[in-house]
Amino acid sequence: MRPAGAPLERSDNASYFSAVMADTGLERSSALLLAGSKVTTGVEYQRLRELAGEADALLNISGILTDQTLLERIPIRVYLDLDPAFNQLWHEAGIDVRFDGHTHYATVGQAIGTPGCTTPTCGLSWTVTVPPVVLEHWPRAVRVTDDAFTTVGNWRGYGSIEYKGVHYGQKAHSLRQFISLPKETKQSFLLAMAIHPDE
């Protein structure tokens, strides 16, 4: 929650959510739910339950919605995997990535489930899809400016994984080998990383 300690209704999260929902016309049929609670911004929790009871399907991005009272009311529950390979590897390592309780599974990992792909399917049938993009929110640029190589991410996640003799590390490990790269070129680099203050 931003800023830290703010109640949901006065958080940056709620402000951003409300603006996006108003922009898409969904402000009367959407809610931002505080994890592990019934506290919402947008429609109230009881109305959210009613909407869930009317829904035909749910796209649950990385299984982030865990409220069983809402989930059990929706007949088709699709787990939408936007972190392919790692979600499957974490699951195989015993980390709960919330696969349970879904009726269908979709991934942006284009090779998952195909011959030659070493990523485990975890015994699930994956439908391959592409990341959703609303083109009208990505207006065509008159002039393309590429003034830096950029990335956004977490310095560390669930932890490194060893799977079938292959080590899958964190950005904390893999980016260090490139830390001197900006000194070797005239190109600009801009990284936005969530890093613990101790690092």
The model's pLDDT over 81-118, given as tens digits with 9 standing for 90+, comes to 998 998 999 999 888 999 999 999 999 999 999 999 99
| C-beta atoms surrounding 34 within 10 Å | 18
pLDDT in tens, 123-143: 999 999 998 788 887 888 788
pLDDT over threshold 80, residue 159:
no
Residue 80 has pLDDT above 80, yes or no: yes
* Domain limits, the chain: 8-133, 149-194
pLDDT bin (cut points 50, 70, 90) of residue 162 is confident
- pLDDT cut 90: percent of the chain above it: 55
| pTM score | 0.81
- Is the confidence at residue 158, as pLDDT, over 80? no
3-class SS letters over 39-103: CEEECCHHHHHHHHHHCCEEEEECCCCCCHHHHCCCCEEEEEECCCCHHHHHHHCCCCCCCCCCC
Give the mean model confidence (pLDDT) for residues 56-77. 94
